[in-house]
Chains A and B, each alone.
Chain A
Amino acid sequence: MVTGSRIRQIGWAVVLGCCFAMLLALTFKVNAVKSDVRLTERKIIAAQQERLMLETEFQTRASQHQLSDWNAVEFGYGAPRADQYLESETQLAALGTPRGIDAPSPVRVALNRPEREEDEDNGLLSGWIAASQPVLDAQTGVSARRELAATGLAQRLSNPVSPIAKVAEVTQ
């Protein structure tokens, strides 16, 4: 009995000791993490201050006075004029040549978009040349072929051969 109680006492002491050691280890760990966090915070603060400094320097160098001086000397950009603005698609379309009253219906052309390899082989303009040639037989076996009406606004915008291209640049 005596030995058993002794062992139990030692056991409790060992358990207590272990707990204490673990608590100590845990506290150490917690504080180590905390001090890591503090170190990181300090780094963040330093970075923020540096960012503020650089930002202010950028803004000082790119101040309105400086920019307008540069513009006066170097670039000479002016304010946009009224005729450089387009309000609606109707205005945009109005810039194209209107069809006369007795004008024939628009010529429908087929666009043959060549494959990429062909592009490289034949040069950059091959696609355009192919597109501008009217293809009478729509049943030829070329896969990437589609028809378009030359008057369609969207197609004309997407097709740089069309005179509307200039308008598209203006609206950008």
Chain B
Amino acid sequence: MNAFSGFGPAIAAGRSGHGAVSMAVASGRVQLVTVRQRTLTMARWRVLWIAVGFAFIALMALVRIAYLGASDHGSRATSFADALLPPRGEIVDRNGVPLARAFPAYALWFNPKALGEDGAPLVKSPEDVASRLKAIFPDLDEKKVAAQLASGKQGYIRRRVLPEEANRVQEIGELALEMPTENDRHYPQGSMAAHVLGYVAADGKGRVGMEQVLDDKLSNPATRGTPVPLSIDVRVQGALEDELARGMKLNQAQGAAGIVLDVDTGEVLALASLPEFDPNKIDARGQSLMFNRVTNQVYELGSTFKPLTVAAAIDAGTIRNLGKRYDASPVKVGRFSIKDSHAMGATLNPIETLIHSSNTVSARIADELGPERMRRTMIDLGMNERPYIELPAKGFPLWPGKDWARLTNMTVGFGHGIAVTPLHLASAYAAMVNGGIWRPATLKKLGPGEAPKGRRVFKQSTSSRMRQLLRAISVYGTGRNANAPGYRVGGKTGSAEKPGAGGYKRSAIVSTFAAAFPMDRPRYVVIAMLDEPKGTVASSFQRTAAWNAAPIVGRLVPRIGPLIGVRPDDTRDVDISDIKPLIPEAASE
């Protein structure tokens, strides 16, 4: 710039040396110089403006750098704890094995408007894209997806996509295939304990099981960080479902139900209702199977009530002598007649009554006890209200009402005329063997000392006597198929005809085995129930519980015993030597 400015006057001075040149030429020169100077000035200004512009941009950049460096921006976007908080709380079993967990996952969504409103939604042909998707997801229905892509309607192609699969879908290079992040509720054990857990519907709310009960706790940000432990033990639950399913198949039953209950705390270790649904995939079939047979369906549970009748009679003092013989001939009350399934002898003592499962003697024992005391015992055992458990679906028993007629009392004595859920029966058996305390069943894990106080139904002495009697049934009576060696199982069979239109259906029965083990110090009650079993080769063409439900318990107990702290031991058993002389089968040994 200085070179220019110095050069201009020098030229002007050089030219002015020729004084003789005409004025016109001189004035032209002056004009030229003025133009040149003006141009130069303008050029200087322009350069200056550009420099100012650059300086301004540099300043802005510096300010921005200082701002970025000095301000702690973005830290409030997501806090660390928030990011690690699951979208919905985890449900675990009593040993911490996850039963339900939620995590952010991807879905595969077809958005035909991704490439703009008009024009084809896909770059490649729908068939080509479908075949590429098929290569990633081998179980995909290629034709269906191709039709969906060709139709141009938006919708899910897949609800769950793994991250590596998502990457491979990206490689197809179709913008219309979107992968929105969604919260995925996953049940790692599949259909196991489905009726206990329930599922989460599309609206994000829990349904059916504990998902519904614990919904607030599982979705509240303050509490969902800690997993909720249930009383369920996955291993026991697995074994129970396994054995029930096997029994159900072998006997061609419509359904099966089972429960394993801790007699001292009321905790439910396993609860199964078959056939079950898969909470990971709720479809129409799943919806139809959500009915819980353990807590919602009421059954006349038949002979499994007989030990309760005998216990009530011993407790009330109407049975003081177990050697007392009762008439076993059919009982006539009004126009009704109570009969046994087969002749068991002219007279029976209470022990033989249970071993052979006699209706007539049970009815006579109940009659001797009287309707009021029988009713009181049933109320104390909670048979007149819905079962105590957290699950939302609880069946109301068919309860004979306030004033029991003589016949009502007698039929309840052998488990008819009253319909309860299998869970009612489990809680009642727990009270009968644990020393006489009834406690509500729970699906929440209880810590030491958290067990509810419960209420006394039977005397301690009655409970000890009942342990002997139940053990005698499974050693000498109908429960022999449940007598797993070393586990001291005691229990009672029950096979009741199902009520249908116009009386009881001969063809449809409910067979139940209610058991407790080990009888020398009962820890767990096990109930296994089959709905409408058929006589098959597996059950020697018998339909009664001794042949189908009892073997389920006999196979289940050895599987679960060592896992839940009951070791098989041939050297221990409840002492039944004092009642042995009253049992003909034992006397002949």
Contact = CB atoms under 8 A, between A and B. Distances in A.
Interface of A: 24, 27-28, 31-32, 34, 38, 41, 44-45, 48-50, 52-53, 55-56, 59-60, 63-65, 67-68, 79-83, 85, 87
Given A82-B485, A82-B570, A34 B72 contact: yes
Contacts of B567: 82, 85
Given A48-B84, A52-B103, A64 B69 contact: no
B83 A45 contact: yes
A50 B103 CA distance: 10
27 contacts: A24-B66, A34-B72, A34-B75, A38-B74, A41-B80, A44-B80, A48-B84, A52-B101, A56-B101, A59-B188, A59-B189, A60-B188, A63-B188, A64-B189, A64-B235, A65-B189, A65-B191, A65-B192, A65-B238, A67-B238, A68-B242, A79-B562, A80-B562, A81-B485, A82-B567, A82-B569, A87-B569
Contacts of A87: 569
Contacts of B188: 56, 59-60, 63
A28 B67 CA distance: 10
Contact of B192 (A48, A63, A85): A63
Contacts of A59: 97-98, 188-189
A63 B189 contact: yes
Interface of B: 66, 68-72, 74-75, 80, 83-84, 97-98, 101, 103-104, 162-163, 186, 188-192, 234-235, 237-239, 241-242, 485-486, 558-559, 561-562, 567-570
Contacts of A44: 80
Contacts of B190: 60, 63, 65
A53 B192 contact: no
A65 B193 CA distance: 11
A26 to B, nearest CB: 10
B580 to A, nearest CB: 22
Contacts of B485: 81-82
Given A60-B189, A80-B568, 6 more contacts: A38-B75, A52-B101, A64-B235, A65-B189, A65-B242, A82-B485
A28 B68 CA distance: 9
B174 to A, nearest CB: 25
Contacts of B191: 65
Contacts of A63: 188-190, 192
Contacts of A67: 238
Contact of A45 (B80, B235, B568): B80
B69 A31 contact: yes
Contacts of B74: 38
Given A27-B70, A53-B163, A68-B242, A85 B568 contact: yes
B201 to A, nearest CB: 21
A45 B486 CA distance: 51
A83 B570 contact: yes
Contacts of B237: 64
Contacts of B561: 79
A45 B238 contact: no
A32 B70 CA distance: 9
Nearest to B242: A68
Nearest 8 CB-CB pairings of A with B: A82-B486, A64-B238, A82-B568, A59-B188, A79-B558, A28-B69, A60-B188, A82-B570
